[in-house]
Structure 1
Amino acid sequence: MRFGTIGAGTVAQAVAAHLVRAGHTVTLSNSRGPDSLRDVVARLGSSVRAAPVEDAARADMVFLTVPWPRVGDALAGLPPWDGRILVDTTNRMPESADVDPGAATPSELVAALAPGARVVKAFNTLYARYIAADPRHPEGRQLLFHAGDDTAAKATFHELADRIGFAPVDAGPLRDGGRLMQVGGPLSALHALRQDPDGEAW
């Protein structure tokens, strides 16, 4: 499976480092172009390359890691998604209390901006330092919540997250799970570890 990022900041680099350690290759991209990522690529190693956004977006699984105000621009003009998986790691600031409860969640909006993509929400509930750290601890593994409307896409992401060391937890569809995971939701900023039934770290 090929992996790419749209955005190459702290979260993208942390995810890329985990993927590289698991034996994968990653294509990083940002709005400033591949030349701006030379130092990042050199630090992450030969399994990482920099490319234009359009190239990175052709990967089988693409991580969207840009700030929320840049989501529209980042997803504009990309090749057809054709069922590829788009992992939305973004966060939108909390809404006011009088927002329509039927309004779309941020990841539903991302899905609307990327027609044909199978969107999975993930990594947005964790502070960057917990994403970057080794998810395996003596006390257990770092919980990683994810949500999505496509069962197969969630299963693929779940398997990947488990393989790179996290303890993935399905939070439901984009609407219900997304509400739990968005800033201000009960899962937002929740740092927790999972243990096996015997108390040993998974």
Structure 2
Amino acid sequence: MSYAIIGFGKIGQALAKAFARNSIEVSVATTRDPASFASDAAAIGPQVVPVNLTEAVKADILFLAVRFEAHPDVARALATWQGKTIVDVTNTRVPPEQLGGQPSSRVVAQAFTGGRLVKGFNHLGATVLGQDPAVQGGRRVVFLASDDEEAAMEIGRLAERLGYAPVELGALSEGGLLVQARGDTWGRLIFKDLVKFG
């Protein structure tokens, strides 16, 4: 199984730290030349490999950590996303009416034709997400929502490998709304830093 993070801002770097902490190799990419962020990747660890977008989208599991408005540009990198799982880490300031009343993650899912989408890792700020998820004997919670139960389970297993406690919330139009930020409408679980014990 191969992994990539698309977007290497604060959230992308926080995710990369989780992979590096657990000695799991992950490719990182932006629309820029990999050489422009190679030093930032090296500072996190040797497991974080800067590549171009064309190389990154070959991964089996991709974390989408770009601005919401940039997701169509990433989606155009492949004609079909069949066989790939996309973890939507985006949040948006776009008002709900501009999304046709849909959850923002459903809009993202439609752009990645053929792919399996899981909303996740987006409810924590970059500073918290970048910390070790082991907290006072417990594990930091990450919420996951998807219309594909198998994909949610797959990302749940990966979250556990990264040290988190995954909590599945159900479908995008149900549990996904709890972790959605769009316009001035924020889900009830956004920025809730919870720890699971036992």
TM-score, reference length from structure 1: 0.89
- Tell me how far 1:94 sits from its aligned partner: 6.5
The answer for unaligned runs of 5 or more in structure 1 is: 197-202
| Equivalent residue for 2:110, pick from 102, 109, 112 | 112
Find the counterpart in structure 2 of residue 126 from structure 1: 124
* CA-to-aligned-CA distance 1:152-189 (integer Å, 9 cap, x gap): 11111101111211111001111112211112111111
Offset, 1:110: 0.7
Question: Structure 1 residue 100: deviation in Å?
Answer: 9.5
Matches within 5 A, 1:88-103: 88-93=88-93, 95=95, 99=97, 103=101
Higher radius of gyration, 1 or 2: 1
Instruction: Pick one of 190, 193, 198 that aligns with 2:195.
Output: 193
Q: Distance in 1 between matches of 2:154 and 2:17?
A: 19
Change (3 A) 1:16 1:176: same
- Of the three residues 158, 161, 167, the one matched with 1:160 is 158
**RMSD, aligned CA:** 1.9
- Give the drift of 1:41: 2.2
Give the aligned partner of residue 199 of structure 1: none
Aligned match for 1:151, one of 149, 152, 172 = 149
Other structure's SS at 2:163 match: coil
For 2:45, the equivalent position in structure 1 comes to 45
Deviations 1:8-65 (A, max 9, x none): 1111111122112222111110011211111122212222211111211110110000
Partner amino acid, structure 1, of 2:69: P
> Residues 57 and 79 of structure 1 are in contact (CA less than 8 Å); yes or no, is this contact kept in structure 2?
no
Per the alignment, residue 200 of structure 1 pairs with none
In 2, the alpha carbon distance for the partners of 1:74 and 1:4 equals 13
Q: Which moved more, 1:74-83 or 1:184-193?
A: 74-83
Q: What amino acid is the match of 2:194?
A: A
Report the count of equivalent residues. 194
Deviation, structure 1 residue 143: 1.1
Q: 1:5–1:57: 8 Å Cα contact kept in structure 2?
A: no
- Distance (Å, rounded) in 1 between the aligned partners of 2:52 and 2:136: 40
Does the CA contact (< 8 Å) of 1:58 and 1:79 recur in 2? no
Letter of the structure 2 residue corresponding to residue 72 of structure 1: P
Unaligned runs of 5+ in 2: none
SS at match of 1:146: strand
- 1:101 deviates by 10
- Of 149, 169, 172, 1:171 maps to 169
Q: 2:94 & 2:39 partners in 1: Cα distance?
A: 34
